[in-house]
Amino acid sequence: MTAPETSAPFVRYEVAGGFATVTLDSPTNRNAISSRLVGELRRALADAGADDSVRAVVLTHTGGT
């Protein structure tokens, strides 16, 4: 039996003051690099690349790892 997939995103994306902040937000599995996390990370980076107001990307995380 597999655990149900949570609907909460594993990656959060916010833009403010010319900075896109991309936060790995799956602390229950220590932000493990899963196919889901990679897909969401790729989308966030693509969004940042397509946004002319973004001048830099900050990559951060939640949890202790």
Domain residue ranges of the chain, discontinuous segments joined by +: 11-61
* pLDDT tens string 23-61: 999 999 999 999 999 999 999 999 999 999 999 999 999
Q: Give the sign of the dihedral formed by CA 51, CA 56, CA 59, CA 62.
A: negative
> Of residues 59 and 65, which shows the higher confidence score?
59
The CATH number, out of the four listed (3.90.480.20, 3.40.1350.10, 3.30.300.220, 3.40.50.300), of the domain defined by the range 11-61: 3.30.300.220
DSSP class of 2: P
Cβ contacts of residue 47 below 8 Å, gap of 6+? 13, 20
The answer to whether residues 11 and 45 touch, using CB atoms and an 8 Å cutoff, is: no
Query: Model-level pTM?
Result: 0.85
Q: pLDDT digit string (tens) for 12-21?
A: 999 999 999 9
Confidence bin at 5 (pLDDT 50/70/90): low
